[in-house]
Structure 1
Amino acid sequence: MRLLQNNTRHNRNAEKSNFSSRYFKWILWFSLSFYFFGTFLITHNKPTTSISRSTFSQTKASRALIEESYPNSSLLQHAQNPQDILKRLKVYVYDLPSKYNTDWLSNERCSSHLFASEVAIHKILMNNNDVRTLDPWEADFFYVPVYVSCNFSTINGFPAIGHARSLISSAIQLVSSEFPFWNQSRGSDHVFVASHDFGSCFHTLEDVAVADGVPEFLRNSIILQTFGVKYKHPCQEVENVVIPPYVSPESVRTTLKKSPLNGRRDILAFFRGKMELHPKNVSGRFYSKRVRTQIWQKYGNDRRFYLRRQRYAGYQSEILRSTFCLCPLGWAPWSPRIVESVVLGCVPVIIADDIRLPFPSAVPWAEISLTVAEKDVARLGDILGHVAATNLTSIQRKLWDPNVRNALLFNDPMVEGDATWQIMVALSHKLDRSHKMARSFNQ
């Protein structure tokens, strides 16, 4: 990595050119502080809140400065005007040594499997001249590209992430020693990807993940992770954005060339994947909480259900023929089947209690999917039959909206509304974590 050699000159020029701006911002800060302090005293003869007057006025002033720098991106306008904020949002991508990322690409699975969003986001940002900045001094956020799900076990072929904590810790030590930005914000404006089972806990089994929790060195940062639940959980006790698991946009386009979304769907309910007849107790837990086993036992001989336990490379063509696609939990609640179902027009049947799904502001999950409680698996046949006879057409019409499909795919280059775009919108809601905003406030 190379630290910019002209930092001193850059700072002198910036100081000179920003003198007037700083003077104006101090006047703005003083005026706003005086105004809100006076308003607070007038309207609050007795204390009704624990927030201090100084914190109150600083918060308002900080917001005013954010709105000054990003005039179309007030906290109330983010959802309405994502294009405006993304025109100004800047992300600096650290140029880490290849051992942290690209060396792992020697295994081609690294950039194509369900955990590959860590690779895709890095590549997309590197190729995006609108969001990416080469000048770290103008960055709102800093992306730290460390691949932790590309180390495939030679024993079972699954990602082995035992090295994740040490690898990320090493990357943080590197950027904090060669650049000033981590130390300035204590990592609050630094972004990482944790695209495996239990996100930033970095373990494939929940009991170990929960015991270890989020590493201390990441607790102040922003984590893009596939794991998310609606209840309190140690593996999401960090600022996080739930992102979709990776599904290759190219594979989806290839499948859709063979048949349209609204083509013939001769399979009512589809599932292909691991379905253990006798699930093994691993660390006190059963795979899928035995849900997949119950599905097989109850519906394995039901002609309405197309259930297969073997791998098949062309399974996307089966999804395209199916009306409902079962998306039961595995070890973790999320599954790439949720994304594949949506982008191929099959109504996802989500069986994972209290799962938190990606990009709810862009994907109307309640309108395009079914949610079945884990305890109600035995009623699946009746539930799907009822929906097929009543409001299936309405669900499919909303499901087949191209904007919905687009929001869950990592296109390269990034296109408006796609998964990387949604991540940038989510980051725009976290500008108060950016040290760039703090610098503006203190100038």
Structure 2
Amino acid sequence: MLQTKLVRFLMARDEWKRFGGKDHLIVAHHPNSMLYARKKLGSAMFVLADFGRYPVEIANLGKDIIAPYKHVVRTIPIGESAQFDHRPILMHFQGAIYRKDGGAIRQELYYLLKDEKDVHFTFGTYRGNGIRKAAQGMASSKFCLNIAGDTPSSNRLFDAIASRCVPVIISDEIELPFEDVLDYSEFCVFVRASDAVRKGVFTGSSSWN
């Protein structure tokens, strides 16, 4: 109801009618935000987390802005951060394992990596003390997996950065914030989903040490 009222309100305004909404900016960051109104308001500029649940005619790089998620773990100051070589966990992932669409890769990687030495790959949520456990795990890890879920991105990437854990991005459709000024290849590792499940890429973990 609120979205319907918003559409009616905006479209009745002279400011909207002037350019058909093209000079309006709508912050609809969460992938489910404006779920019912987005099609009618698609001429406006959106601030989004990614394009995972948007058709290209509604949201695209030609007009829209990708903004980072807010990380939920505490940022580790430089003096408190364990050095890379002294972190006991080689690779870390904690989150929902069974996902839809592009996130099906998580399930494949779980079965591939769950028994690998020095790899922490387990189901987890942010409920209860989940945030504390995730923060401890990331802060103790050399590499943190950022795997596509129901949408291409999540706050996990920014939790990894805040934890000074090297992000390993396995999400072929991801769009990253501020890519025009940040070279993510300088502090992230990118692995295509099809390569990630190939035998030997992640198994035999000595190559990542």
TM-score range, shorter chain: 0.7 to 0.9
Q: What's the TM-score once normalised by structure 1's chain length? A: 0.40
**For residue 189 of structure 2, what is the amino acid of its counterpart?**
L
Cα distance change of structure 1 residues 234 and 382 upon mapping to structure 2, 3 Å threshold: farther
User: Deviation of residue 288 (structure 1)?
Assistant: 4.6
Cα distance change of structure 1 residues 316 and 199 upon mapping to structure 2, 3 Å threshold: same
Pairing 1:353-372 to 2, within 5 Å after superposition:
353-372=172-191
How many residues get paired?
198
> Of residues 99, 114, 118 in structure 2, which corresponds to 1:304?
118
Unaligned runs of 5+ in 2: none
> Of residues 221, 237, 241 in structure 1, which corresponds to 2:44?
221
Contact 2:45 2:64 in 1 (8 A): yes
The sequence identity of aligned pairs, in percent, is 19
Paired residue secondary structure (1:173): helix
User: Deviation of residue 350 (structure 1)?
Assistant: 0.8
Matched, 1:268 2:103: no
Q: Partners in 2 of 1:383 and 1:169 — Cα distance?
A: 54
Cα distance change of structure 1 residues 273 and 289 upon mapping to structure 2, 3 Å threshold: closer
Matched, 1:173 2:16: no
Cα distance change of structure 1 residues 257 and 367 upon mapping to structure 2, 3 Å threshold: closer
Structure-2 residue corresponding to 1:157: none
Structure-2 residue corresponding to 1:399: none
Contact 2:94 2:122 in 1 (8 A): yes
Structure-2 residue corresponding to 1:245: 69
Paired residue secondary structure (1:239): coil
Paired residue secondary structure (1:375): helix
Cα distance change of structure 1 residues 180 and 287 upon mapping to structure 2, 3 Å threshold: closer
**For residue 163 of structure 2, what is the amino acid of its counterpart?**
L
**For residue 303 of structure 1, what is the amino acid of its counterpart?**
K
User: Deviation of residue 302 (structure 1)?
Assistant: 0.9
Structure-2 residue corresponding to 1:313: 131
Cα distance change of structure 1 residues 307 and 228 upon mapping to structure 2, 3 Å threshold: same
Matched, 1:186 2:9: no
Cα distance change of structure 1 residues 175 and 288 upon mapping to structure 2, 3 Å threshold: closer
Paired residue secondary structure (1:363): coil
Matched, 1:335 2:154: yes
Structure-2 residue corresponding to 1:325: 144
- Which protein has the larger Cα radius of gyration, Structure 1 or Structure 2? 1
> Of residues 6, 9, 30 in structure 2, which corresponds to 1:196?
30
Contact 1:198 1:227 in 2 (8 A): no
Q: Partners in 2 of 1:384 and 1:167 — Cα distance?
A: 51
Q: What's the TM-score once normalised by structure 2's chain length? A: 0.79
Cα distance change of structure 1 residues 195 and 380 upon mapping to structure 2, 3 Å threshold: farther
Cα distance change of structure 1 residues 303 and 235 upon mapping to structure 2, 3 Å threshold: farther
Q: Partners in 2 of 1:183 and 1:383 — Cα distance?
A: 60
* Residues 11-64 of structure 1, C-alpha deviations (whole Å, 9 max, x = no match): xxxxxxxxxxxxxxxxxxxxxxxxxxxxxxxxxxxxxxxxxxxxxxxxxxxxxx
Pairing 1:398-409 to 2, within 5 Å after superposition:
none
User: Deviation of residue 304 (structure 1)?
Assistant: 2.3
Pairing 1:23-422 to 2, within 5 Å after superposition:
166-175=1-10, 177=12, 180-197=14-31, 202=35, 214-216=38-40, 218-228=41-51, 233-234=56-57, 236-237=59-60, 239-248=63-72, 251-253=73-75, 256=77, 259-260=80-81, 262=83, 264-276=86-98, 286=100, 288-311=102-125, 312-314=130-132, 315-378=134-197, 379-381=200-202, 385-386=206-207, 388=209
Q: Partners in 2 of 1:235 and 1:262 — Cα distance?
A: 44
User: Deviation of residue 183 (structure 1)?
Assistant: 2.3
**For residue 370 of structure 1, what is the amino acid of its counterpart?**
V
* Residues 141-187 of structure 1, C-alpha deviations (whole Å, 9 max, x = no match): xxxxxxxxxxxxxxxxxxxxxxxxx533422433554x532222321
Q: Partners in 1 of 2:155 and 2:205 — Cα distance?
A: 21
Cα distance change of structure 1 residues 371 and 361 upon mapping to structure 2, 3 Å threshold: same
* Residues 378-399 of structure 1, C-alpha deviations (whole Å, 9 max, x = no match): 34426974454xxxxxxxxxxx
Q: Partners in 1 of 2:17 and 2:204 — Cα distance?
A: 54
RMSD of aligned alpha carbons: 3.0
Structure-2 residue corresponding to 1:117: none
* Greater than 6 Å deviation, 4+ residue runs: none
User: Deviation of residue 319 (structure 1)?
Assistant: 0.8
